[in-house]
Every structure is written in C-alpha cells, then in structure tokens.
Amino acid sequence: MSHLEELILFLHILGESTFISGTYLDNEILSHMRQLHTFNFYIESINGIVDPTVHVPADDIERTFTNIKHRQVVCMVDYLDPDSMIYRVFSLPTKFNRLEGITNNIPNIVFNSVTYLKLTDKNAFKHEFFVRLARAFPFLKNLSISNIRPPFLRLEEPYLGDKDWCSIIEYSHLIFLDVQHANPYYVEHFLNETKTHLPCLIKLKVSFVDLIAVTENFTRDEMRRNCGRVKQLIVERPTVHPENVHRYFPLL
C-alpha cells in the first residue's frame, strides 16, 4: 500500500501483553506509506498484568507519538482488576462513533463523533462524572451502564449529600438508555428530572424490580417527565404491565 494517501484504522487486540507505541506504528506501518497524508486511528488492547506493582503512565506512551502524521494523540490506561488492564490510544479529532468499556477515566476532551457509549467500572460513577460525561459526549444517542456499586453510603459520607445534586445534567440527543445491569442508584439518577433531563429518551432497558423501587411503584412525580416519552420498555422477561405502568409510560 505504498500509494495509500488516507488511512482510518480501528484495531482491537485481545490477549497480548504489549503496547502499540508511536514508534512501532512509525517503523512497522507508516514507514511503508510514503504518500500517506491523513491517518486517523483508535487502538485498544486488553492485556494481562505480569507485575501488578508496575503501572505504565499514559503520558509515557503519548510521548512516543511524535510523528506529525499522528496529529494530536490521547492515551488512556485503565486497570480492570488485579490481573488485567485495558490500553487505548487514539488520534484527535476522533472519527469513530462507538466506544465500549469506558471507565471513570475519561480525558478532558470532546468526542463529537461518538454516539454509542458503554460504561463499566468497578468503582462508582458519581454525579460529577456524569456532568463531565455530558460535556465530553455532546451528541450521545445510546448509553449503557454496567456498575453495581453506588457512589457512596450516605451514613458514612453525609457531607456529600448537599453537594451531590448541584446541577441538572442534560443529554440532549440520548434516545436509548440501558441500565439493566446497573445499581438502582443509576436508574434513579437518570430518570429523576431533578438530576437528569432526557428530552429525547424513547427506549429504556431496565430491571423491572429496580424500576418499581425507584419510582415507588410508579407514583413519584419527579420521574414522570423522563419516563413519559418512552415508547419501548425492555425488561428481563415478558410482562403484562398493570394500569399504573401505562399511566407512567403513556406512549408505550
């Protein structure tokens, strides 16, 4: 491909214990593409951890991307558990519309192209994280959250209670929300209009038991607006909804 002028690369690597550095890209790919003038990439690698005491700084990896063809580069390193980590490096501005396995560790940049996002983390997502999330992904249409841990126990951290809901977060383009595998805290957080505004939400995937709990059996008024636009409700198994559900979700 010595005459290639434009390359868009999305690469997912599973089971390797190595990093794709800028130096590697230069020597193994770009050096063979002399005519290349546009290079956009997203590289993701899930690696086993050989020595848990050694952490690889993202800044060190970014510094290997010095070639002008790389343009601006961002690197993210997340430790999923004691035995594995996920490494991402990508060029800016991003060209891809889908990101998965995103944790609390989101960089301070704007992903204008991303419309589909899956969040998962062993640590809790707090309100301030969702504030940053709405700013970082302004055109988000599909959001999935997998997290069983709530942000905090109010009995242990009562000082956080007054700070938690300091602003209402708006996801202006979100049409599908999947919180089926999330702690009920996140179900309440997104459906409660005093915390989150979802003007375009039409599809909701959720545990029906959690939905009953957070809406107090479909009686809480502050949940009605975000639920009132939903046309498709996806639960664990086929359910014949009682009348109070249809009053809460009139467009089903």
User: Got the DSSP string for 23-66?
Assistant: HHHHHHTGGG-TT--EEEEEEEEEEE-S-TT----HHHHHTT--
The mean-pLDDT minimum among 82-96, 132-146, 158-172 falls in 158-172
Q: What is the pLDDT of residue 49?
A: 67
Instruction: Give me the chain's average pLDDT, please.
Output: 86
Cα 58-61-67 angle, rounded to 5 deg: 135
Pairing of strands 6-14, 38-48: parallel
The predicted model scores a pTM of: 0.85
Beta bridge partners of 42: 10, 90
More confident residue, 83 or 227: 227
Spatial distance between the Cα atoms of 211 and 222, rounded to a whole number of angstroms: 14
Question: 19 by DSSP, 3-state: which?
Answer: coil
Backbone angles phi, psi at 141, to 5 degrees: -115, -30
2-16 mean pLDDT = 84
Asked whether 78 and 62 are in contact (CB, 8 A), the reply is no
